[in-house]
């Protein structure tokens, strides 16, 4: 593998981490968030400051995650106050406020961003292995949560809050848990991003980033772990494999979202499920 493929793996890994985090919130727990890039950015800025101050890599990764999770907890509280459509727009608002705030902060480099980020010291291959390791760990955590009591609670909340409440499920607690875990993953992804680009600007964490993360979750199939991973990989690589249609790639990206929602709202996972169901039927 050359440097090109290695760096591509890093970009894909970061996006898969982001999609897995959002999948916990939107997929498992049913809370639509249009502001995931704000948590990604919070983690990145915290990590950049920590790394520049000389903290070692593991501490920086955790610090990025924790800082993002603190913001995630705050935003989680708003999810307790507002209903679903309002929540989508509130989280979108959080994204805009985050970027609007960072743009004006001299201590965060304002528009010039932060550049004095040290090398991760792992070497090219080491860094990629770390990325893949983190992706695997996050996928394993997600899979575990899905099978656990926590995942059952999430699913109940996602399905119907009122019913969940009558079942004795502490709805606010589960919502907060989803936000905290999901945004923690986004923060870790932010820290990885910092070591990858060694340069961050506010514009890298804008609304379009939130949208592209959400599209990965939706195209993959809300709540489906492997569907979301496959979609994140495909959607990230799509522009790479389509240089020939450079001029039309965003158009196709938009069209893909529209067509998925129109004809297969359950995403890739939904397509596969219905296909296998039909196969089974034809066998019997």
For residues 95-134, which are near another protein according to CB under 8 A? 96-97, 99-101, 103-104, 110-113, 115
Contact between 143 and another protein by CB under 8 A: the answer reads no
Secondary structure letter of residue 34 according to DSSP: S
At residue 231, the 3 state secondary structure works out as helix
Q: Rounded to an integer, what distance in angstroms lies between the CA atom of residue 94 and that of residue 75?
A: 8
Smallest distance, another protein to C-beta of residue 50, A: 20
Smallest distance, another protein to C-beta of residue 96, A: 5
Site for another protein in 216-275 (CB under 8 A): 218, 238-265, 271, 274-275
Q: DSSP characters for 152-179?
A: HHHHHHHH-HHHHHHTT--HHHHHHHHH
Beta pairing partners, 200: 114
Query: Is residue 192 a contact partner of residue 131, using CB atoms and an 8 Å limit?
Result: yes
Secondary structure letter of residue 55 according to DSSP: -
**Residue 53 or 251 with smaller CB distance to another protein:** 251
Site for another protein in 179-218 (CB under 8 A): 193, 196-201, 203-204, 207-208, 211, 214-215, 218
**Residue 34 or 225 with smaller CB distance to another protein:** 34
**Residue 162 or 244 with smaller CB distance to another protein:** 244
Site for another protein in 9-48 (CB under 8 A): 10-11, 14, 32
Query: Is residue 64 a contact partner of residue 47, using CB atoms and an 8 Å limit?
Result: yes
Q: Which residue has the tokens 């899979």?
A: 143
How many residues touch another protein under the rule CB under 8 A: the total is 81
Contact between 82 and another protein by CB under 8 A: the answer reads yes
């Amino acid at each position: 593998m050359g440097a090109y493929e290695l760096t591509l793996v890093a970009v894909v890994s970061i996006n898969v981490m982001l999609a897995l985090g959002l999948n916990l919130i939107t997929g498992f727990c049913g809370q639509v968030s249009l502001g995931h890039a704000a948590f990604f950015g919070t983690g990145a800025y915290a990590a950049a400051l920590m790394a520049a101050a000389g903290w070692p890599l593991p501490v920086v990764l955790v610090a990025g995650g924790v800082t993002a999770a603190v913001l995630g907890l705050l935003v989680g509280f708003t999810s307790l106050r507002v209903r679903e459509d309002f929540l989508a727009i509130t989280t979108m608002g959080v994204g805009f406020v985050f970027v609007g705030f960072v743009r004006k902060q001299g201590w965060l480099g304002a528009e010039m961003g932060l550049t004095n980020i040290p090398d991760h010291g792992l070497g090219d291959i080491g860094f990629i292995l770390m990325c893949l390791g983190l992706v695997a760990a996050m996928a394993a955590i997600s899979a575990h949560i899905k099978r656990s009591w926590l995942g059952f609670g999430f699913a109940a909340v996602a399905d119907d809050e009122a019913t969940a409440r009558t079942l004795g499920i502490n709805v606010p607690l589960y919502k907060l848990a989803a936000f905290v875990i999901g945004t923690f993953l986004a923060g870790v992804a932010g820290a990885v991003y910092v070591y990858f680009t060694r340069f961050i600007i506010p514009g890298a964490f804008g609304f379009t980033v939130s949208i592209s993360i959400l599209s990965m979750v939706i195209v993959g199939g809300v709540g489906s772990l492997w569907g979301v991973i496959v979609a994140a990989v495909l959607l990230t690589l799509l522009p790479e494999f389509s240089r020939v249609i450079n001029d039309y790639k965003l158009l196709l990206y938009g069209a893909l979202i529209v067509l998925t929602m129109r004809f297969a709202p359950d995403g890739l996972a939904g397509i596969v499920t219905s296909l296998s169901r039909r196969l089974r039927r034809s066998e019997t």
